[in-house]
Structure formats: C-alpha cells, structure tokens
Amino acid sequence: KLQEKIIILFTRSELKKLLLLFVGILIMGLLEVIGVTTVVPFIAVVVSPELVYENIYLSQIYNFFNFQSVNKFIFFLGVILISTMLISNGFQAFMLWCITYFTNMQGSRLQVRLLESYLMRPYGFFLLRNSSDLGKNVLSEVNRVTTGVIMTSLQVLSKIIIVLFLFLLLIFVNPIIAISAAIFLGGIYALIYKLVKLRLHNI
C-alpha cells in the first residue's frame, strides 16, 4: 500500500528529484562529519602546541607546508576549520531551501492534479458532495500532506543521517564511549517520548 501511495503522490521525474535530495542529504552528513573532525585537531593543538611535533599526521602536514612557527600552523588549522564550517553550514542551508522548494512545488502540482481530477468528474459526482469539502481538499488537505508529511519526513531523514554519520565517527574514535553515550541518551529519549506520548494520549 505504501508503494501505491508513493506512485500516486509522485511522478517518475519527481521520484528522481527525491533521489537527488537523498544524495544531497548524504553529502550534508559527510560534510558534518568533516566539520567535526577538523575541530578536534585545532583544539588539541591550541591546548597542547607540542602535538605538532609529537603527532605523526600533524607533523607531516607541518613539514609538508614548511611552516616556520607553530602559531602560523595554528592559524592555518583555524582557517581550514572556519572554511569547513562555512561550507558545511552553507550546504545545509542550500539543502533546506531545496527541501522547502521541492515540498512547495509538490504541493502546487498535487493541487493542480486534484483540481483537474475533480473537473473531469461527471455532474452527478458534485451532486453527492459538498463543494466546500472539495475546496478544502484542494486548498488545505494537500498542504497538510506536503508540509506535515513530505517536508517533515525529509527533514527527519536528514537529521537521522547526520546523527548516524556522527555516531559512526564516534565508533571509529572510541567505541566504548560512543555505545555508552548512545545507550544513555537513547534511554533518556525513550523515557521522555513515553511520558509525552502518555500525556498527549490523555489530553
């Protein structure tokens, strides 16, 4: 049934655009990971400048670019960090615009398709239905589907992918801390979700 609903809601060209959005969301997650990985060496060198000579990777970069002082190397790392953050945040803003634009255009196309479907119905169809309900379907219900389901789903998907990529990075750096944090934070989230769900159900 889900596949049938997707086929009804999206044309083939729209499904291709959805695929492009998914690829963009994956790139956004990778940029987020790259941004986090650039923060760590910068802070480490600022706190302990001797790491430039002790860490094999930092020393290779230091010698490769032939820096004359540690301060210049720290400035270099700072420029890389700021540039990475700007690119990452800029791409996130671009993807948010793409998701919003796709959702609004999808809503417009669905409204047109629904209106065309109504106009092609026989006269007897309108005798059995309230015109205000038909207008509500075109003007309100389509908007609820696009903003409440499609846009929200894409935004949630982007956040899930970012969290997943960051979790994989933490697993690579320190599996014990990553798993412990995931269990702790996941448990708190599950508890809050259960309490809020119960409260909303009672209301």
pTM to 2 decimals?
0.76
pLDDT of 2 reads 62
pLDDT of 182 reads 84
Listed as ranges, residues in the chain with pLDDT below 70 are: 1-3
- What type of residue is 18? L
pLDDT of 83 reads 92
Token pair listed for 85: 């953050």
